[in-house]
Amino acid sequence: MTLPYSLIIHGGAGALEDLKYEADATEFEASVLEILAAGRDLLEKGESALNVVEHCVNLLENNPLYNAGKGSVLNENGQVEMDAAIMNGADIRAGAVTCVKSVKNPISLARQVLEQGDHVMLAAAGALEFAKVCKAELRADEYFIVPHRIEQLKEAKAAGRMMLDHEKADTADKRDRAKEHSKEQMAQKLGTVGAACRDIHGNLAAATSTGGLVNKRWGRVGDTPVVGAGVFADNDTCAVSATGYGEQFLRTVFSKTVSDFVLFKGLDAQGAAAAGVQFLVDKVNGDGGVIVIDKDGLCGAAQSTSGLIHGWIELGGEAHCKLG
């Protein structure tokens, strides 16, 4: 028996009022809908959820609009260090890489870690050696570094701080003041990308990829490559991909918490997404968003910021895109 497929992707959460370094909303919408169409084509041919989320995140990594793969932000040394993770809901196998350089598509390297099976996460030089063994596509540094990321790093260094993807120094100051005084809206965008899927066989999968924070310390690891924090998938509950301040998502074991709302509370995808974000806010005043597909193929999304770039196809229906 075949089931209706569902797919949801995201390109980051935050406020979209201050996109100094971004294309306009039309470009984001076109990108999201194009990737959903590519995912639909695969799902209608019977491809697995695992293959589909990898492919969709590949496309997000290849687009310099997003902070993943090509166009990733730069660390304090002016280098790209990328994180990615992928998880299969049918058997809860997972693969992740962190602090990787030179790898064109970190999510595909994470997939190789999953398939190899001995480990769940490989880091830095070890991950690069594994990439060479797997004959992963490698690129010179120049491939990943785009001009506006260089300007962002200069701005962050001048301000003496780390910054979010596409965030300006004055925006960062506003963010800190808001943290101290209220939960007022903050003009910022968080650049992790991700996908969640249910295929026609009822199997779930999720994938997440990112370049991290502008001017981050070298070797910094956020939530993206950590199973249960930035990504989670289990056929008994749901598939989850998160985006936001990684440290907050690590401390709340965010993606597993969302899954637990399905498991223990019986919530659907939208209910679990909303409950997860409320938990994030209540516990750590957290900023970010999440996409979810539950075991019944229902899609959900929620965020504590004013915007979440995402699009979805629910139960084989029409494709939708939403930036708010």
Would the pLDDT of 179 be above 70? no
- List the single range of 84-88, 91-95, 265-269, 307-311 with lowest mean pLDDT: 307-311
Would the pLDDT of 69 be above 50? yes
Mean pLDDT across the chain: 89
* Residue 14, pLDDT score: 72
Confidence of residue 190 (pLDDT cuts 50, 70, 90): low
* Residue 212, pLDDT score: 86
What pTM was estimated for this model as a whole? 0.91
Helix, strand, coil distribution of the chain in percent, nearest 5: 35, 25, 40
Instruction: State the number of CA atoms in the 13 A half-sphere of 141 facing the CB.
Output: 11
* Residue 165, pLDDT score: 58
CA dist., res. 178 & res. 220, Å (int): 25
Confidence of residue 189 (pLDDT cuts 50, 70, 90): low
* Residue 23, pLDDT score: 55
CA dist., res. 55 & res. 33, Å (int): 14
Query: Who has greater pLDDT, 66 or 173?
Result: 66
**Beta pairing class for 193-198 and 189-190:** unpaired
Confidence of residue 22 (pLDDT cuts 50, 70, 90): low
Confidence of residue 132 (pLDDT cuts 50, 70, 90): very high
* Residue 16, pLDDT score: 64
Query: Who has greater pLDDT, 158 or 170?
Result: 158
Would the pLDDT of 154 be above 90? no
Other Cβ atoms within 10 Å of 48 Cβ, number:
18
CA dist., res. 220 & res. 240, Å (int): 23
Question: 285 phi and psi, to 5 degrees?
Answer: 55, 45
| Catalytic-labelled residue, pool 2, 26, 98, 192 | 192
Would the pLDDT of 274 be above 80? yes
Confidence of residue 178 (pLDDT cuts 50, 70, 90): very low
Confidence of residue 215 (pLDDT cuts 50, 70, 90): confident
Confidence of residue 245 (pLDDT cuts 50, 70, 90): confident
Mean pLDDT of 68-95: 93
In the annotation, is 237 catalytic? no
The CATH classification of domain 6-92+145-322, taken from the options 1.10.8.100, 3.30.200.20, 3.30.230.10, 3.60.20.30: 3.60.20.30
Domain residues of the chain, as ranges? 6-92+145-322
Query: Who has greater pLDDT, 218 or 278?
Result: 278
**Plot region of 256 (φ>0 → left; ψ -120 to 50 → alpha; else → beta):** alpha
Q: What percent of the chain has a predicted confidence (pLDDT) above 70?
A: 88
Would the pLDDT of 21 be above 70? no
CA dist., res. 320 & res. 22, Å (int): 21
- Residues 318-322: contacts with CB under 8 Å, at least 24 apart: 319/33, 319/36, 319/37, 319/40, 321/28, 321/29, 321/32, 321/33, 321/36
Most confident of 4-18, 115-129, 156-170: 115-129
3-state secondary structure of 35: helix
Contact between residue 51 and residue 189 where contact means Cβ atoms under 8 Å apart: no
CA dist., res. 216 & res. 161, Å (int): 9
* Residue 188, pLDDT score: 46
Amino acid at 240: V
- List the single range of 10-19, 98-107, 134-143, 292-301 with lowest mean pLDDT: 10-19
